[in-house]
Copies of this chain bind each other. A is one copy, B any other.
Amino acid sequence: MDGRSARKRQAIMDAATELFLANGYQGTSMDEIAALAEVSKQTVYKNFADKQQLFAEIVLGTAARADEFVRAIPGVLADAPDVEAGLRTLARRYLAAVMRPELLQLRRLVISEAGHFPDLARDYYKRAPDHVMATLAAQFGDLSEKGLLDLDDPDAAASHYAFLVLGHPLDRAMFLGAECGLTPTAMNKHADAAVGVFLAAYRPD
């Protein structure tokens, strides 16, 4: 794909993302996407077979961004002076990553459309939240083998860590909107307290 075609494709993705997040899937037409992207409708259909394919590419493209965080996890834990410091840094980054307003909006949109597009919702869940939790579980298993955490069930520990850190802020944001989020200071305090509870359960004696 030459530069001009790639730019047009990106303009269509950007326009579609903006419209889907603002007006929902049903409330967005390919005509509006073409108009906002400043391309012809023909160009939209040359790039994307239909609205459903465009929606799926946007959702799964966002899920792929979880990979950045997944790749960072081992380094954050390895580079910290001790397990507690590593888990705190990780918790703060995890919460900040998940609470980005555009990600919260997309998350709400995927939940909204999960009835119509169950396979897409499942793929998103597998590639983003589940992928992060599986990576956490593997890391926690390693820390347990090194005697730095005390746990039998790495998957359960990863679930406890994830929902101590994310659960409440994320749930609030689904109902109250991204604008009702915590301040960065409150988020860090929340993340630190979550790690405190986690370590009370999983710190070796």
> Besides A108-B115, A153-B193, 8 other CB < 8 A contacts?
A26-B26, A108-B111, A111-B112, A121-B176, A156-B193, A159-B168, A160-B194, A163-B163
Task: Point out the residues of chain B lying under 8 angstroms from A24, CB to CB.
Answer: 115
Give bound CA distance, A171 to B121, whole Å.
Answer: 12
Task: Point out the residues of chain B lying under 8 angstroms from A121, CB to CB.
Answer: 175-177
For the residues of A in contact with B, the DSSP-based class is helix
Binding site for B on A (CB under 8 A): 24, 26-27, 108, 110-112, 114-115, 118, 121-122, 124-125, 129, 153, 156, 159-160, 162-164, 166-168, 170-172, 174-177, 193-194, 196-198, 200-201
A85 to chain B, nearest CB (A): 19
Task: Point out the residues of chain B lying under 8 angstroms from A115, CB to CB.
Answer: 24, 108, 177
Among B26, B129, B160, which residue has its beta carbon within 8 angstroms of that of A164? Answer: B160
13 residue pairs A–B, Cβ–Cβ below 8 Å = A24-B115, A108-B114, A114-B177, A121-B175, A122-B176, A125-B172, A160-B193, A162-B168, A163-B163, A163-B168, A167-B167, A174-B174, A197-B197
Task: Point out the residues of chain B lying under 8 angstroms from A108, CB to CB.
Answer: 111-112, 114-115
Chain B: CB-nearest residue to A168: B159
- Nearest first, the 7 closest Cβ-Cβ pairs linking A and B are A163-B167, A167-B167, A112-B112, A200-B201, A125-B175, A197-B201, A200-B200
> Contact: A176 with B125, CB < 8 Å?
yes
- The listed residue with most B CB atoms (<10 A of its CB), out of A162, A174, A194, is A174
Chain B: CB-nearest residue to A128: B175
Task: Point out the residues of chain B lying under 8 angstroms from A163, CB to CB.
Answer: 163-164, 167-168, 171
A94 to chain B, nearest CB (A): 13
Give bound CA distance, A172 to B163, whole Å.
Answer: 12
Knowing A159-B168, A167-B167, say if A111 contacts B174 (CB, 8 Å). Answer: yes
